[in-house]
Amino acid sequence: MHKINRSDAMNRSDVISTGVGGLDEILRGGLPPARLYLVEGEPGTGKTTLGLQFLLEGVRRGESVLYVSLSQTRAELEQIATSHGWSLAGVNIQELQTADTLDGAGNQSIFHSADIRLDRTREMVEKAIAEHAPRRIVYDSLLEIRQIASDHMRYRRELLGFKSLLNNSQITAVIMDSPVEYGGDKQLEGLAHGIIHLEKELPEYGIARRRMEVRKMRGVGFADGYHDMSIRRGMGVSVYPRIIPDLASEAEHTDLIKSGLAPLDEMLGGGMEAGTTTLVTGQAGTGKSTLASLYALAALERGEAVAMYLFEERMETLFRRSEGLGLNLRPYYESKQLTINDFNPAEISAGEFSLIVRDGVDNRNTRVVLIDSFTGYLSALPKSDQAVTQIQSLLKYLARRGVLTILIVAQHGLLGQNVGIDVDVSFVGDTVLLLRLHEAPGVLRRSISIVKKRHGPHGLDVREMTINEKGIGIEPFNPAPVGTAGLVVHAQS
């Protein structure tokens, strides 16, 4: 794999920006200028939108740009731009209707009409380039040129001639085409300096899942493999670079992270270590989310930034549930010390989620990250096995940044398996807190135990956990009826 270095990715002077969020990072800053690039994908994968972003970035930088269109009219391009709130002012558009390039050639033999149409098309492109002197061109698309070329040799000569024209004029060109399996051709792939491949997949439910792959880029180290992407109003194409844990800068934190609940910290050998992952697992109603909120509040009271990512619970529900237990998170959210993202599970990819979490840590110095729930995260994504791989990379990145990550995991069985996929909790988590329900005469009682703690000592005893309007309490587990023994330590103590 070619690795990217985030520290210098955006500072290279020998490349130009694509105007596409995330793609420049994958390319270590952008595209080498004055080269020919191929953007390929089926209809609807975002080729035209990406092309417009590439040209609008040129306009923003004061460059002359040109959109050569054989497949769409000016009105159609303006409609696409308007749907994103963009203006095409400054973008020169040359419409080429290949059927119209035969004007005045009605007396020509049918055996020569294809050659004449190709000549006229080329002449119009050359004229537009001479008139506008563009630094950037988008050519959309070569499908029409292939259809009117009389033979493969003539088509290849046209490609070579066009590439030579671009090189002589120092123009950076993006050509749109379909993959080979959908009518594209290998000739262009060989001539192109770089190839960007776009894909779209329709799940049984939810929005289309999109991804991008840089298949070739001469002279540039790039992050290969697939990267999730999306197309959204006002943003256009956004790419979410795959997490590379080794690129995270190491953060040194020696202090243990405490919950603010002395008996719980005692069970954990004084607290949890920074740069570790804690799984809080248990049956429904055992208090998993409440316990995680306790850690969030303790960090906020210490003045640290906290981020919570919700896949099952609404934000307002979180606030009201926590306030009912004396855990008032709302003021910290309003002051922006606490970040909360309430996701629609059907409308986010694993790559986008990883980027949101990573940027929150890098830009806000977040110390505690809470994901509620890991089970909801997995079940929300169409390919849970790939989601597990991505979140493992994210957890390693967060560990290097010194973040305590808390994952809420729904339990099935003693230690549990996640919905839809088997996950070994000992592999994912450094620390595992197990919450359980016990049926006592006439009442259900909660218990808490530390199943595993990879770093440092921990207690092996089972204790009772109480949750009521006074807060959260931890006390010795006593088989006697509730309320006859034990000391409750409140969350606010």
Can you give the pLDDT at residue 104?
46
Note whether 325 and 223 are same-domain residues. Answer: no
Residue 180: pLDDT band with limits 50, 70, 90: low
Residue 10 lies in a domain: no
Q: Residue 107 above 70 pLDDT?
A: no
**Could you tell me if 97 and 200 lie in one domain?**
yes
Is residue 34 domain-shared with residue 140, that is, in the same domain?
Answer: yes
Look at phi and psi of residue 85 and say left if phi exceeds 0, alpha if psi is from -120 to 50, else beta: left
Looking at residue 366, its pLDDT comes to: 92
Q: Could you read off the pLDDT of 80-103 as tens digits, one per residue?
A: 999 999 999 999 999 876 444 444
Domain boundary among 208, 242, 276: 242
* Mean pLDDT of all residues in 59-80: 92
Asked if residue 39 has pLDDT above 90, the reply is yes
Same domain, 236 and 141: yes
User: Using 50, 70 and 90 to split pLDDT, how confident is the model at 118?
Assistant: confident
**pLDDT tens-digit readout, 299-357:** 999 999 999 999 888 899 999 988 888 899 999 999 999 999 988 766 778 888 889 99
Q: Is residue 129 part of a domain?
A: yes
| Same domain, yes or no: 152 and 268 | no
Using alpha carbons, select from 284, 69, 33 the residue that is nearest to residue 169.
33
Tell which of 242, 269, 286 closes a domain: 242
- In the listed set 191, 211, 242, which residue is the last one of a domain according to the structure? 242
pTM of the model: 0.79
Q: Give one word for 384, left, alpha or beta, with left for phi > 0 and alpha for psi -120 to 50.
A: alpha
Let me know: does 36 contact 175? Beta carbons within 8 Å: yes
For residue 429, is it within any domain?
Answer: yes
Q: Is the pLDDT of residue 112 over 90?
A: no
Residue of higher predicted confidence among 373 and 301: 301
The reported pLDDT for the residue numbered 162 is 84
Give the β-pairing of 277-282 and 226-232.
unpaired
Measured at the CA of 230, the angle between CA 364 and CA 388, to 5 degrees, comes to 70
Which of 135-139, 287-291, 364-368, 409-413 is modeled with the greatest confidence? 135-139
Residues 206 and 342 in one domain: no
pLDDT for 267 beyond 60: yes
Give the pLDDT band (50/70/90) at residue 440.
Answer: confident
The answer to the question of residue 102 being in a domain is: yes
Q: Which helix (H) or strand (E) holds 395?
A: helix 384-400
CA dist 37 and 189 (Å) reads 9
Domain residues for the domain of 426 are 247-476
- Average pLDDT over the chain reads 82
Distance linking the first and last C-alpha atoms of the chain: 50
Is the residue at 375 inside a domain? Answer: yes
Check if the beta carbon of residue 297 is closer than 8 Å to that of residue 493. Answer: no
DSSP single-letter state for residue 355: H
Are both 217 and 302 inside the same structural domain? no
> Do 218 and 256 lie in a common domain?
no
Domain match, 156 and 259 both: no
| pLDDT for residue 478 | 72
Question: What are the pLDDT digits (tens) for 478-492?
Answer: 765 545 444 344 444
Rounded Cα gap, residues 409 and 419, in angstroms: 10
In this structure, what CATH number is given to the domain that contains residue 74? 3.40.50.300
**Average of pLDDT values for 437-445?**
83
Give the chain's domain count.
2
Instruction: Categorize the per-residue pLDDT at 11 as very low, low, confident or very high, splitting at 50, 70 and 90.
Output: very low
DSSP bridge partners of 93: 67
Same domain for 236 and 301: no
* Cβ atoms of 227 and 215 closer than 8 Å: no
Highest mean pLDDT among 132-136, 434-438, 463-467: 132-136
Give percent of the chain above pLDDT 90. 43
Is position 9 within any domain? no
Any domain includes 486: no
Do 222 and 139 share a structural domain?
Answer: yes
Which residues touch 154 (CB under 8 Å, ≥6 apart)? 115, 118
Task: Give me the mean pLDDT over the 50-55 stretch.
Answer: 96
Is the pLDDT at 183 greater than 60? The verdict is no
Higher pLDDT, 135 or 283: 135
Please report the pLDDT score of residue 87 as a whole number.
94
User: Most distant CA pair in the chain: distance in Å?
Assistant: 106
Q: What angle do CA 452, 457, 460 make, to 5 degrees?
A: 55
The region of weakest confidence among 22-26, 121-125, 377-381 is: 377-381
The confidence score (pLDDT) of residue 243 equals 85
The arithmetic mean of pLDDT across residues 229-245, rounded, is 89
Say whether the peptide bond before residue 141 is cis (omega within 30 degrees of 0): yes
Residue 4 covered by a domain? no
- Asked if residue 443 has pLDDT above 90, the reply is no
Q: Quick one: 276 and 202 in the same domain? A: no
Q: Which of 106-110, 192-196, 285-289, 345-349 shows the lowest per-residue confidence on average (mean pLDDT)? A: 106-110
| pLDDT given at position 336 | 94
Instruction: Give the mean pLDDT of 460-473.
Output: 88
